[in-house]
Structure 1
Amino acid sequence: MTERPYFNDAQSRRRFLVTAGTAGAVGLAGCSDVLPGGNGNGNGEDPPVGQIGSGREGRSPGGVSMEEMPDLEGELTVYSGRGEFLVGELVEYIESLYDDFTLNIRYGGSTDLVNQIINEGEGTPADVFYSVNSGSLGALASEGRTQPLPDEVLDFVREEFHTDEWVGTSGRARTVPFNTNALSEGDLPDDIMEYPDVDADLGWAPSYGSCQAFVTAMRLLEGEEATKQWLEGVLDAGITSYPDEFVACQAIADGEIDAAFTNHYYIQRVLDGSPDAPIATSFTEGDAGAMFNVAGAAVTDAASDADLASNFVRHLLSGEAQDYFARTTFEYPLIPGVEPIGDLPTIDELDVPDLDLTQLSDLEPTIDLMREAGVNI
């Protein structure tokens, strides 16, 4: 991903979004203005409790509408590493648009589903793999179990958010959420490598896939020795572990810790339930702490109807679907014309590192390094 410097003075370089009462002022009324209601049960990397919000009602999504996309006809099986609680409403809506279209969804963890597709071989029923992260997409592609997507699908998003074999459907930025009662703007550095020396009670979720991808990015950008020193440093400073990043953000809002390392949308989800919670979002600059990852989809090499499969993926990039991700899961939309929720900076305004997202699938060295540094995962 190309680095895009945006901030141009000492205060604005690190863009703090003190969003209590503004960015989080969203209700729980559902999103019936675009999609019908109804939620399922969460699983995998997206915990089911306190995770869904309605965003802002009355938004008019840009982009290409589903009405302008090819009709879906036939039967399709999707292996989804995204939890039903987060995307079930969307995929059910897509299925409901077409009388002659049947969608079979199998939910599970992204890594588990990659292994399942590989083990099932050419006989896998999976036509589409829908992943919570680019690492799993890259892992499946590296096994030769995906096929190229057509340009009319890939061209919806910028080149750093796709390869020939998979396309990102929504994005997440790494952030440092902080408690506004405990810390002020000047207390947090804009360099992630300085955090072991910060005078603050920190938290993280080291067993969580997004955290491990963050450490992987650090390993790739800073080297193994520097990353090991960083890990040892935050452990020596007494960092608190949580089961997932939403719980870590809730701990910030509750005053248990001062700051943490999480994806951006968990802050928005805390604020969605408690608009006055003392939590805000900070960003580092051009390093692993500012990494931008994507959820995305690929068509498997065993797809019985590759055109149908790729056209379903195209629907995930429609204006309606992208607005759903913004309003309902608080993720970053990836197409022009649909803005994120929560008064967040745009993707162009984020100072992200120059990092090939496909390299994030190389988790084994990261796990080994974390354990060697003493991290309990």
Structure 2
Amino acid sequence: MRTRLTATILATLLGATLAGCGSTEAAHNGPVLTVYSGRNENLVKPLLEQARQALGANVKLDVRYGDTAALAGQLAEEGDRSPADVFFSQDAGALGALAAAGRLGPLPRAVLDASPEQWRAADGTWVATSLRSRVVAYDPRQVAEADLPKGIDDLLDPKWRGKVGFAPSNASWQAFVTAVRVLRGEDGARAWLEKFKANEPQKYDNNIKIRDAVDEGKLPLGLMNHYYWFEKAAQVGVDKMNVKLHFIKGNDPGALINAAGVGVLKSSKNKALADKFAEFLLSAQAQQYFADTTAEYPVRAGVVSGKHKLPALADLQPPDLKLADLQSLPKTADLLRQVGLL
């Protein structure tokens, strides 16, 4: 009797589970668009909800968040078997690497034309959705403006030993190192990294922790992206922050402007819908979100932030390279491991 009772309970539970699964499936009969997002969920989840609404009431968005480099590696490994339709990347280099591997298909002309030529792939397989600048965060209580680094070589000065923070596993740091490789060659990049390591920089998990360490006086200098400062300023107010930003000028890797971007997988079974998703990210609505909510530079002409007072994009002096030149991320990761910075 006990055996029969146990079997009955298990059957009831299993039936309820299956019924629950069936009801969930029944609740959605429309198409499902699968997005691999290297962009942080806290930053872009509201935007992706707007995208879902723009795609249509019967469309379900299945978003899988993760590290940009890891997701790009997963997409490369999955190949044509990947369930992904769209890759929303934190970094242009990862998109370039996937394009070079033949994993991305061409985007519609309407999507490409929404962004200036310098911010998209030459073969039309990906396009930038927003821009960010590398900056030096500093604590003015410890660092005078006259002592701020004019370029990345100044960071090698012994006076900064143990006083510079960086996030070795972060995609933006690895894109910066890729820019060093492109601008200075492999030997030049290795030499800089070895000297940088010898100066005992402080490792952090991410840009937010770097920003906060500088703000709290635990770190004089930190290497990060500009928008993390503006994010905190919007939360607590500039008058309650100690950390300030320094934009490096000239043809220096420390002034790199990188991009978040989007590409549609060649293997997507929902290409029309995926193209529409990409088009939405270049729409005035989405571009205003980047300008006001994430404090990034929009790529669409005529969109400006009504909330953040960013330096004008035209006033920045990034190094002379194309975003497509940042696609050799695997070589960057190998170099960082060899040097002992990853």
- TM-score bracket, normalised by the shorter chain, equals 0.7 to 0.9
- Are residues 1:367 and 2:333 paired? yes
Q: Which position in structure 2 is the counterpart of 1:289?
A: 254
| Rg comparison, structure with higher value | 2
Q: Larger relative CO (CA 8 A, sep 6+): 1 or 2? A: 1
Match of 1:246 among 199, 202, 208: 208
Paired residue type of 2:269: S
The TM-score normalised by the length of structure 2 is 0.82
Paired residue type of 1:353: P
Q: CA deviation at 1:217?
A: 0.7
Distance 1:199 1:339 in 2: 39
Q: Which position in structure 2 is the counterpart of 1:317?
A: 282
Once the two structures are superposed, the pairs formed by residues 123-138 of structure 1 within 5 Å of their partners are: 123-138=81-96
Paired residue type of 1:185: E
RMSD: 2.1
Give the 3-state SS of the residue equivalent to 1:171 in structure 2: strand
**The structure with more helix, counted as a fraction of residues:** 2
Give the 3-state SS of the residue equivalent to 1:262 in structure 2: strand
Deviates more, 1:92-101 or 1:151-160: 92-101
Match of 1:87 among 44, 47, 61: 44
Distance 2:59 2:281 in 1: 16
The TM-score normalised by the length of structure 1 is 0.75
Give the 3-state SS of the residue equivalent to 2:42 in structure 1: helix
Q: CA deviation at 1:198?
A: 6.7
Once the two structures are superposed, the pairs formed by residues 181-196 of structure 1 within 5 Å of their partners are: 181-196=141-156
Match of 2:302 among 319, 333, 337: 337
Paired residue type of 1:343: K
Distance 1:195 1:159 in 2: 33
Once the two structures are superposed, the pairs formed by residues 1-377 of structure 1 within 5 Å of their partners are: 74-97=31-54, 98-163=56-121, 164-197=124-157, 199-200=159-160, 201-275=163-237, 276-285=240-249, 286-340=251-305, 342-375=308-341, 377=342
Distance 2:83 2:52 in 1: 18
Distance 1:331 1:259 in 2: 22
Distance 1:319 1:130 in 2: 18
Q: CA deviation at 1:123?
A: 3.5
Distance 1:313 1:237, change over 3 A: same
Distance 1:120 1:195, change over 3 A: closer
Distance 1:203 1:119, change over 3 A: closer
Give the 3-state SS of the residue equivalent to 2:150 in structure 1: coil
Verify the 8 A CA contact 2:52 2:61 in the aligned structure 1.
Answer: yes
Q: Percent identity?
A: 39
Give the 3-state SS of the residue equivalent to 1:281 in structure 2: strand
Distance 1:207 1:121 in 2: 24
Which consecutive residues of structure 2, in runs of 5 or more, have no partner in the other structure? Answer: 1-29
Give the 3-state SS of the residue equivalent to 1:223 in structure 2: helix
Which consecutive residues of structure 1, in runs of 5 or more, have no partner in the other structure? Answer: 1-72
